[in-house]
Amino acid sequence: MTAPTTSGARSTASLRHRLAERGIDASLWLMVPALVFALALFVYPFSYGIGLTFQPGLATQERWGGGVFANYVAFFRDPFVFDSVWITMRLALPAALFNVLASIPVALVLRRKFRGKRFMTSVLVLPITLGTVLTAQGLLIFAGRQGWLNRTLMSIGLIDEPLQLVNNYVGVMFSLIITGFPFAFLLVSSYLSGIDPSLDAAARTLGAGWWQRFRRITLPLLAPGLATTFILTFVLAFSVFPSARLVGDAMGSTRVMSLMAFRAFGEQNDYAMASTIALMMGVVELVVVAIVLAWRSLFYKGSTGGKG
Amino acid sequence: MAITAGKFDSLELRDVGRSFGGHEALVGLDLTVRAGEFIALLGPSGCGKSTALNCLAGLLPLTHGQILLDGQRVDTLPSEKRGFGMVFQSYALFPHLTVEKNVAFGLQMRGLPRAEITQRVREAISLVKLEEHAKKLPGQLSGGQQQRVAIARAVVLEPSLVLMDEPLSNLDAKLRLDMRTEIRRLHQSLGLTTIYVTHDQEEALSLADRLVVLREGRVQQIGTPDELYDHPRNWHVADFMGYRNILPGTALDAANGTAGTERTRVQVGSMTLTGRPVGDVGGSSEVRVAVRPDDLVVLADGDAPQDGNAVTGTVAVVEYHGREFAVVVQTSDGTLLHVRTPSAPEVGDVVTLTAAGERVLVFPADLAGRPAATAPAEAVAV
Amino acid sequence: MSALDTAGSPATGTASPGRPRATSRLPGERSLAASPSTWFVWAGMAAFLVFLLGILGAVVVDSFGRQWFNTWLPAEWTAQWYSGSWERFDLAHVIGVTVGVALTVVVLSVLIGVPAAYLLARRSFPGKRLVNVLFLLPILMPPITFGIPLATVMYSFGLGRSVIAVVLVNLVPSVPFVILTMTPFIEQINPAIESAARMCGAGMRQVFTRVLAPLLVPGILAASILVLVRTVGMFELTFLVSGPQSDTLVVAIYRAMTAAGGGEARQLISAMAVMYTLTMLAMLVVALRFVNPTQLVAQVKDARDD
């Protein structure tokens, strides 16, 4: 019945109404501050930065050639810089994996109520408030050659010489785990509690043992949440900066990308190169995130029925 | 009663319609509501009844037509200026305000003096019998109590029109019956004009002065409960009015002249039935035959079938319903017939059913055309 | 927690490991310490706890020791490092900057983010998906990736090393964060409530102040705490644009640790670090008086759900 049969049966809705149907009305002004913010402080600088990467300094051009792409040429050809990609991945991937995987059993065990649960949960979450710099200082003292950790191990007799646990890969790894685990644990915990407990009960009545229930019910339902947690933990670990400098070997084995970027920015004042490294950081991270998201899309992501 | 409804003469909906994104949610609704009437909008999900209500409330804009209150257009006014009360399906009580403050809200929006607000709130709360719960928060109330608060909040404003959007559908069965009576009582004692949306035909029949049956955005029939009950205009309305047996068939009589005749014959599966035609049926056109379960009678041995209608089948299911039994009979070609009978046959018995031709309604199968214009309900609408 | 868990709880708190008490637990319910894998987890958590206490303890002890290099504990105790670092690093000013910046960032990101979250939660409009992606990007990217270009822009505008720059730079991850946490929060408020308020005669402003705002407060507080913690602890972004007058506490500690010539005296830094922790804890304690911590987890989880 779309043809008007009587006069005056055309749409009486005003233009205002028809626009409102599509979602355009005065309330869109609410979005303006946020949009201004995003454009001015994010989109514009980011595009400016991308533009910068194509304006290499004279020194870079002379040394590496390649015209406008000199920065990129330098990035890929200079082993000091390029190796930082692998060095960063070598730190971030295992750290993120460990954090996510280790938080699963901990979240499972801490699911039930028991005396001291609040205490344990606070202990596990506390490092979030401490931050990387404090953790770095603490690790230097605690895990240093003269620190309590080495002293205890030596006095127990486990080792003869103090272990080199700081100013190297190990120190940074410790730092990443201490600051990253609480975050992963919080997320995994809440994803776990989002799974309806009666699903586990139903599986029991059907004869499934503990491992089977975990592998076939809990884990598949948890997997999308695990993927998300991994992505976020990875982003955090990949951006590692102060720890790599303070507890690591800044110009050596823990020469992470953010350090390289900052070296170009602050020490060499080569803004173009710094932007290039920063951009490549984003690209590498994006690739990893994309892979994980693709893998995640294979799973059932619908409602899991719990209270969350 | 200190609370009285705002007065008006008539509310007119003229060719009201709403479509968006290419989908027509509501088309061509023409309705005139007189003050004091209880109108029910009835239909299955997606039929447009909630759309119609929301358009009346101003929560959705019209794309076609006008709404006039005593001749003045109200569809151009925003909701907050229309002065209609509304009860939502989810009650939509303000969770951070007590019962009293919820009810007082609308009065505060009008800027009335505090003393008057307190008094009117108190009256409204005692009207719905929630005096002891006045200081509680909605989260502390049961579903039925929350619903009564929602009603009090709507009527305290003395609106000219009260709109109710399936207010009982979230309640359990017994509470629904009790609240149904409450709503009718309030409507009468306060002299309200109510427009009520539901998908439950029993609710609509018991509450409404007039019903509007909708399907896929279009009005099927407007009329009083007994008009719809006895003279449904098409088989969809019949289906909604409890004609539980809707059987596909073919007309047997000649094409012209069935409209207005008393009887016509149809072929339904292996059965030949005589029924009353509603609309144009004839000439081998496809039809739907509608019979109420209570109009199917189990023939006792030796009795003659009425109007030559006799159908044999086997009893498949027997349900106890207190004074009557709901029986499902399966015919030889697999058709299931629903029957209500005072005495129960056994499952597996072979029975013969009959029905008066007057109570066997024959409709055209095609719903797209205009519903039959012969029903007397036509005169009342618009 | 399921009913099964609560049924088990009276027993598990006091059950001795390995001996299930059949009378106080449902059949099939495992004791908390029954299996080797559970022991493993507990051992792991204990190790974590040891590390944590060790790190904290080491810093605290260091900050109070007169000299501490080769021994288990310092020989003498002193508070000189605290007064020393207070003076040396002008900590009064630094803490003031830290708290001021953090609060400003919180207030601004709430003012900017909540209206945007409301729109995203309630309406659909052309370009909504683009806007969603736009607000998601700053959180998914490493801070350095947008931080360096942003810092470059700041410097070119002459804002380098100023407090304004620090505030602006910290807004970039905070506003999307507020939007991300508030959008699902607003979504779960029944939209019919706003309609009901309008039917009662409330105009847009009254709907917001009388109905929406009170319901949004818990969510806003939770988001604010998270933004606060992030900003106080945020290093990379602030470091890029701050100078001696506009450093926050973390940056000041870092500068002290990496100062030319091997850094400042270790004990001075430890004292600073302790004061940083105390400042952070103080803010958290004040903030947590208003918010239930378990809400925080739910916000974060909903927010992070891709």
The CA distance from C247 to C87, in Å, is: 15
Would you state the pLDDT for residue C281?
A: 82
Write down the pLDDT at residue A244: 86
DSSP 8-state assignment for residue A254: T
- Whether residues B62 and A1 touch (CB distance < 8 A) is answered with no
Distance from CA of B253 to the nearest CA of A (A): 31
All residues of chain B having their beta carbon less than 8 Å from the beta carbon of residue C211 are: 94
Residues B178 and B252 in one domain: no
Interface chains of chain B (3 or more CB pairs under 8 Å): A, C
Please indicate, yes or no, whether residues B212 and B257 belong to a single structural domain of this protein: no
Which of B27, B66, B218 is facing A12, going by the closest CB pair?
B66
SS3 B141: coil
Nearest to C95 by CA among C250, C225, C264: C250
> A47 and A106, same structural domain?
no
Regarding whether B178 and B152 lie in a shared domain, the answer is: yes
Domains annotated on chain C, with CATH: 32-78 (no CATH), 84-304 (1.10.3720.10)
User: What is the Cα–Cα distance from C76 to C62, expressed in whole angstroms?
Assistant: 11
pLDDT tens for each residue of A134-149: 888 888 888 888 888 8
The predicted structure's pLDDT at residue B82: 86
Does residue C15 surpass a pLDDT of 50? no
Which residue, B230, B257, B273, sits at the end of a domain?
B230
Asked if A278 lies within 8 A of C147 by C-beta distance, the reply is yes
Please state which of the ranges C29-38, C56-65, C144-153, C158-167 shows the lowest mean pLDDT.
C29-38
Tell me, what's the pLDDT at C16?
40
Q: Which residues of chain B have pLDDT under 50?
A: 1, 370-382
- Domain closes at, from B178, B202, B230: B230
**Half-sphere exposure of residue C97, counting CA atoms within 13 Å on the CB side?**
24
What is the mean predicted confidence (pLDDT) over C216-237? 87
> Can you give the residue range of the structural domain that contains A263?
85-296
* Cβ distance of A1 and B27 shorter than 8 Å: yes
Confidence at residue A22, expressed as pLDDT on a 0 to 100 scale: 67
Residues B15 and B133 in one domain: yes
Q: Which chains touch C (3 or more CB pairs under 8 A)?
A: A, B
Closest CA to B137 of B91, B86, B102, B90: B102
Cβ contact A11–B64 (<8 Å):
yes
| H helices present in chain C, as ranges | 3-12, 36-64, 80-88, 91-122, 128-140, 143-156, 163-187, 191-199, 204-206, 213-233, 236-241, 249-257, 266-288, 293-304
Claim to verify: residue A145 and residue A216 sit in the same structural domain: yes
Identify whether A26 is part of a domain.
Answer: no
Residues B325 and B217 in one domain: no
Sequential DSSP letters for C254-297: HHHHT-TTT-S-HHHHHHHHHHHHHHHHHHHHHHHTTS-HHHHH
- Chain B residue numbers touching A2 (CB-CB < 8 A): 24
Question: Over 90: is that where the pLDDT of A211 sits?
Answer: no
> Has residue C305 got a pLDDT over 80?
no
List of chain B residues whose C-beta atoms are within 8 Å of the C-beta of residue A10: 64
Arithmetic mean of pLDDT over chain C: 79
Any domain includes A19: no
**Range C241-248 average pLDDT:** 85
pLDDT at C292: 58
Model confidence at A303, pLDDT cuts 50, 70, 90, reads: low
Partner-chain contact C199 B85, CB within 8 Å = yes
B64 CB within 8 Å of a chain A CB? yes
pLDDT recorded at residue C124: 83
- Based on the fold, state whether residues A187 and A290 are members of the same structural domain: yes
Q: Which residue did the predictor score with more confidence, A302 or B134? A: B134
The answer to whether C186 and C213 have CB atoms below 8 angstroms apart is no
CA of A10, closest CA in chain B: separation in Å? 6
Residue B347 shares a structural domain with residue B209:
no
Residues of chain A neighbouring B75 (CB-CB closer than 8 A): 12
User: Which chain C residues touch A232 with a CB distance below 8 Å?
Assistant: 304
In terms of domains, do A252 and A109 share one?
Answer: yes
Please report whether residue A37 resides in a domain. no
CA distances A40 to A50, B257, C118, Å, are 15, 77, 21
Chain A / chain C CB contacts < 8 angstroms:
285
Helix (H, G, I), strand (E, B) or coil at A137: helix
C294 falls in which pLDDT band (50, 70, 90)? low
What is the pTM assigned to this prediction? Answer: 0.74
Q: Are residues B212 and B341 located together in one domain of the fold? A: no
Token readout for B74 is 């109200």
The answer to whether residue B3 is domain-embedded is no
Would you call B62 an interface residue with chain A, using a CB distance cutoff of 8 Å? Answer: yes
Q: Is the pLDDT of residue C226 over 50?
A: yes
CA atoms of A172 and A254, how far apart (whole Å): 8
Question: Does B240 map to a domain?
Answer: no
Of the candidates A136, A225, A223, which has an alpha carbon nearest to the alpha carbon of residue A184?
A225
Q: How far is C253 from chain A (nearest CA, A)?
A: 7
Are residues B187 and B285 both part of a single domain? no
The reported pLDDT for the residue numbered A94 is 94
- Where residue A167 falls (left for φ over 0; alpha for ψ -120 to 50; beta otherwise) is left
Q: What is the pLDDT of residue B120?
A: 94
Q: Which domain holds residue B164?
A: 10-230
pLDDT of residue A305: 59
Check whether residue A231 and residue A135 sit in a common domain. Answer: yes
* Chain C CB contacts of B103 below 8 Å: none
Q: Using CB atoms within 10 Å of the CB of residue B254, give its burial: 0 to 12 exposed, 13 to 18 middle, 19+ buried.
A: exposed
Domains in chain A, number: 2
87-126 in B: which are within 8 Å (CB) of C?
88-90, 92-96, 105-106, 109-110
Structurally, chain B folds into a number of domains equal to: 2
CATH of the domain at A249: 1.10.3720.10
Per-residue pLDDT tens digits for C43-93: 888 888 888 888 888 888 888 887 777 777 777 888 888 888 888 888 888
- Give the pLDDT score at C262: 64
Contacts of B63 in chain A (CB under 8 A): 11-13, 17-18, 21
Cα(C200)–Cα(B93) distance, rounded to whole angstroms? 12
Residue A287 has a CB neighbour count (10 Å cut-off) of 10
User: A174 and A243: one domain?
Assistant: yes
Has residue C306 got a pLDDT over 60?
A: no
Position B1 in a domain: no
Residue type at A219 in one-letter notation: L
Choice between B87 and A155, residue whose per-residue pLDDT is larger = B87
Same domain, residue pair B252 and B189: no
- A16: in domain: no
A209 belongs to a structural domain: yes
pLDDT of residue B3: 64
A23 confidence band (pLDDT: 50, 70, 90):
low
Nearest residue to A126 via CA among C229, B208, B106, C38: C229
- Tell me which residue in C119, C134, C172 faces A28 most closely, judged by beta carbons: C119
CA distance B204 to B38: 10
CATH number at residue B178: 3.40.50.300
Claim to verify: residue B113 and residue B252 sit in the same structural domain:
no
Q: CB contact, 8 Å: A1 with chain B?
A: yes
Claim to verify: residue B299 and residue B222 sit in the same structural domain: no
* Residues from chain C contacting residue B197 (CB–CB below 8 Å): none
**Are A267 and A138 found together in one domain?**
yes
